[in-house]
Amino acid sequence: MRRRWWLITVTAVPVTVLALAGVAPQAGAASAPRARHISATDVSQLTRASRLATGLHAGDPFCSRLGKQYQASSAAQSFCFGPQFHTGTPGSPATAEAPSGLANVNAARVSEDVSPAGVAAQGQSEVSIAAAGPYVVEAWNDATGFLSACPAPMSKEELTGLGFSADGGKSFTDLGGLPNANCSKDLYYGDPSVAAYRVGGQTYFYISSLYLPTTFTGRIHAALAACKVTGSGSTAALSCGQPIIAASSSQCRIFTFRISPTKTRTFRFCSFVDKDFVAIDPAHGKLYLDYVDFQVTSPFGDPVDMSACDIGNAAGGTGPAGGTPAAPVCKHGTKLVKVSKHLELAKPYLQVAKANSLGCENEGAYPAADTATGAAYVGYEFNVFTSLFDPACQTASTPVQNVLDKVPAHCLTLTKVSPCSGPSARTAVPVVSMQGVLVPGYNRFPANDFPRLAVSDKFGTVSMVWNDARFHPFGDILLQSFHKSSLTPVQPKPVRVDQLHNGGLSFLPALRTPSGSGLLDVTWYTRASVSTANTDVAAAVGVSPLTRVTPPNLQITNAASNWLVDSSLGVPNFGDYTDNAVAVTARPPFVGSTLFVAWSDGRLGIPQPFEAHLPSG
């Protein structure tokens, strides 16, 4: 079945995207949305979708508001609008530098990024990485999927690609796209998150991704690929299973449009699951996936939700919910139930943050697991994008914040839904947002300030990092830690992680698990000054969660890439997150001694998924 990209125009519904309850006071009720209208021409275009070759779901209420009332992921951009060409200006794509001492390895292969018809696809970005022993997996948004029909060799029709290394990240094999026998109905659409797990003498990797329908009627999902390392040494390979649904739309709405005095047409649109990310608790055999769910009913909102998956017991056998490491069982809520002629509803496994009536957007949900207590933590940004254009979200009562929630272990039972109604503790940090900052060479406005988390049992903390413009217009990387039991702050104010950089860019930090000694490893994009678009990756390794001073920095990249000259089919061209991960082990503290860093790099003139590794803190 050929992917359908539809270019249509539908009158957008004024939207109020709901925000979390309890963080920002409600300043007033949202205005009621006007009735949605659609022209006969629009409906004619919808019904002719099989003959059109551009844009996928532009008739979807979610898509009609995307970029106007709220912003969402690269996968959402692709789902709604198809490939979006970004051509760089003439110039050198890379600037030579003094060697950083670290090998920078492309985890993809440019020669593989060619469609079955022989068309080169430009743009592999938005990366995630995990490692265990000598085995490393990096995943990314893969533009080859824009140009490939289902089924394609190497699953090229999927927009989630991956690479595998059996030599500790020194080299990678580009495996194409994630396997998907159901590609005629649903496709992996990128926004990957990778986690590693060693148990029972075996090594497993889990790759989550948005998993979206090829038709109007389908429910929106995030899916999980369970991958197992087979063989050993230089002959080791990665074998990935079929998609496992890990999150689904909580709403579907039936729209009926009159296209003539005697004819109507009915369409079904579902709430949009977005920005999935995973974390593993190896001590308790669980995997958590966090996401937001853009609603399709009034009042519109995007609550932060969570799913829980059983990945087996401590010996690598079947877990309490019937899951195994090779075949996880995910609890992601109830089935859709028809509650009226026009509405179907379901419950997520756990709604971490409800939306409020002001219409301020939540986005960038990110999980972390506490192996000591079995608790989970969720971070996300409140008032994303809506702070730019929605008057209700531009007031002192709706400040941009990064929110941190705690979900205790007793809420994380492997049942259809959690026994809890929400988190047990919450805190929020004011952000001087970079959403209004135009980053030269970055082909999406705005930027984001999404938080990244890590739990340090050694120090009894959960830490959060984010980019923040309070000191420089192009931002700094800030860190603040909290006591993991109460979420009271450790430091009286956030601490800068990046050193002085002449006011240049500090952007999109990464933080996952701490080192074996409980220290934090933070990485991020950096530019040396405001006068350049040459972009590097920097790191602060071995940072104490208790620190009150800026730590030393080191450089990860050995060549700076000039974002102004890169070409890409994706938006954003360099993704909206970077990643790092400490290699995992099978025994406490469940981490080894090597830090793996992943970023989208433009030194070849097109964004590519790069990797480097070094001793962790």
Specify the pLDDT at position 59. Answer: 62
Q: Which of 85-89, 352-356, 393-397, 547-551 has the lowest mean pLDDT?
A: 85-89
Instruction: Evaluate the CA torsion angle 487, 429, 62, 340 in order and state its sign.
Output: positive
Q: How many domains does the chain have?
A: 1
Q: What DSSP state is assigned to residue 500?
A: P
Q: How high is the pLDDT of residue 5? A: 35
Q: Compute the distance between CA of residue 333 and CA of residue 347 in angstroms, rounded to an integer.
A: 5
Compute the distance between CA of residue 425 and CA of residue 417 in angstroms, rounded to an integer: 19
Is 14 a domain residue?
A: no
The one-letter code for the residue type at 241 is G
Are the CB atoms for 614 and 596 separated by under 8 Å? Answer: no
Q: Is residue 533, in this structure, part of any structural domain at all?
A: yes
Amino acid sitting at position 94: A
Both tokens of residue 344? 């179907």
Report if residue 4 sits inside a domain.
Answer: no
pLDDT of residue 514: 96
- As a whole-number percent, the residues of the chain with pLDDT over 70 amount to 89
Query: In this structure, is residue 204 part of a structural domain?
Result: yes
Residue 110 lies in a domain: yes
**Residue 374 predicted with pLDDT over 70:** yes
* C-alpha span between 313 and 428 (Å, rounded): 35
- Looking at residue 177, its pLDDT comes to 98
Candidate from 218-222, 378-382, 481-485 with smallest mean pLDDT: 218-222
Mean pLDDT across the chain:
88
pLDDT of residue 76: 84
> Which residues touch 116 (CB under 8 Å, ≥6 apart)?
148, 149, 152, 153, 156
Give residue 502's pLDDT. Answer: 83
The answer as to whether 12 is a domain residue is no
Helix/strand/coil for 79: helix
pLDDT at 351: 98
For 92, the 3-state DSSP assignment is coil
Owning domain of residue 466: 19-615
**For residue 390, is it within any domain?**
yes
Please state the rounded mean pLDDT for residues 522-545.
96
Whether residue 581 is contained in a domain is answered as yes
Tell me the CA distances in angstroms from 605 to 407, 416, 577, 579, one per residue in order.
43, 47, 20, 21
- The conformation of residue 42, written as its DSSP 8-state character, comes to H
Q: What is the DSSP letter of 34?
A: P
- Amino acid occupying residue 242: Q
| pLDDT over 70 at 302, yes or no | yes
Q: How confident is the model at residue 257 (pLDDT cuts 50, 70, 90)?
A: confident
Mean pLDDT of 126-132: 98
Task: Please name the helix (run of DSSP H) or strand (run of DSSP E) that holds residue 386, with its range, or none.
Answer: helix 386-389
Q: What is the pLDDT of residues 177-196, one digit of tens each?
A: 999 999 999 999 999 999 99
Per-residue pLDDT of 194-205, as tens digits, reads: 999 999 999 999
Rg of the Cα trace of the chain? 23
Distance CA 575, CA 67 (A): 16
CA pair distance 530, 401, nearest whole angstrom? 26
371 close to 283: Cβ distance less than 8 angstroms: yes
Structure tokens at 173: 């094999």
More confident residue, 432 or 57: 432
Query: How many Cβ atoms from other residues are within 10 Å of residue 118's Cβ?
Result: 7
| Rounded-to-integer distance, Cα 520 and Cα 412, Å | 26
CA distance 103 to 611: 8
Integer CA distances (angstroms), 79 to 191, 234, 257, 391, 447, in order: 12, 38, 23, 28, 20
